[in-house]
Amino acid sequence: MALVNLDNPEEVKKYEEFITNTPYAVTTQAMAWAKVKDNWNSFYIYLEKNNEVVAAMSILTVKSVGDKKLAYATRGPVCDITNIELVKELYDEAEKHLSNENIFLLRTDPEVYYDEKLSDAYKAAGFTVRNKDIHPHSTIQPRLNMRLDTEGKTEETLLAEFHSKTRYNIRLAKRKGIEVHSSRSLEDLKAFYETHVIMSERQEISYRPYEYFERVLNAYGENAKVFIATFEGEVLAGALCLSYGNVTWYMYGGSNNLHRNKMPNYLMQWEMIKWGLERKTKYYDFGGIFDMNEDDGLYRFKRGFIANDQVTEFIGEIDRVYDEEAYKTFLSLNNSYSTFAH
């Protein structure tokens, strides 16, 4: 049981090998994530059994209520979440190393499916669990997720599973002359970012500075790619995609206002899904949603790709609270997706 000593290369290597190769691997628990969230402090906690790492938690801390800090393991911890005693032991170990950090809350929100019995078991174990009984926009990460099962499937079988309109739009984009390429170049990253800004302003939502996306690209190396859709050499849409562990993740996207009737986003998504197939990941993740609203064009767009898969519902936030007053204040603030999420 230990806190990773970042000055010890062997210890860092051991931790990263577990985080990367375990079946419970998740993108935002990689040590690379701290390089993206560079305004947070980072701590890496792990448990060993018989000299083998069996559980880990990459924790970021930031001041959230006055001088009091939130400790947040984004989509962690990395272990068998159904083993509550193991998770408690991991929280206890983290608590030892965070005792001088003025922490009011240690939060995780694992990518494990919602199960009422499991949720109740965590509550019985002394955790505060936030899921069905709260406003959907009050969690840091969305509990509902659009995820396509790609394990063991081919391009042909996946296309057959898509909604017929989605298949039509992918083929239409090809017929209309849309081309998609991918790279890790800063030129393409800047092109993507321009589309992301245009889309965000069109939808009246906030967006991160360009430097944030450059950090993502640099931190995740070959696990990160930029995809660009063009028509006759002109950029129409872009996306930043990560492939890590068992999941290929459509992290951010964007589109400008040109030639939208040529359906560039459909073909771009298809090319990213194909990259996931090449990487042999089990899932292609379209990202989270807060509700299943058929009037929401983005929801309908994503839904067309997972016509035969249900929307994934995760267990929610598993909190260990150290200061009730600060916790209440924190929950009363706008601490939703836009504030602390990826």
Any idea which residues carry the catalytic annotation?
Answer: 37, 109, 208, 301-302, 317
Q: Which residues fall within 8 angstroms of residue 268, CB to CB, at 6 or more apart?
A: 180, 227, 228, 229, 237, 238, 239, 253
* 196-218 core/surface letters (b: 16 or more CB in 10 A; e: else): bebbeeeeeeebbebeebebbbe
Structural tokens at position 139: 């969690």
CA separation, residue 185 to residues 31, 218, 222, 229, 243 (Å): 22, 10, 12, 15, 17
**Residue 123 vs residues 70, 130, 137, 320, 321: alpha-carbon distances, Å:** 20, 10, 21, 10, 12
The terminus-to-terminus CA distance of the chain in angstroms comes to 28
In whole angstroms, what is the distance from residue 13 CA to residue 31 CA? 11
CA distance linking residue 133 with residue 275, whole number of Å:
37
Do the beta carbons of residue 56 and residue 78 sit within 8 Å?
yes
- Whole-angstrom distance, CA of residue 309 vs CA of residue 164: 15
CA distance 340 to 342: 7
Q: How many CA atoms lie within 13 A of 217 on its CB side?
A: 22
Length, in residues, of the chain: 342
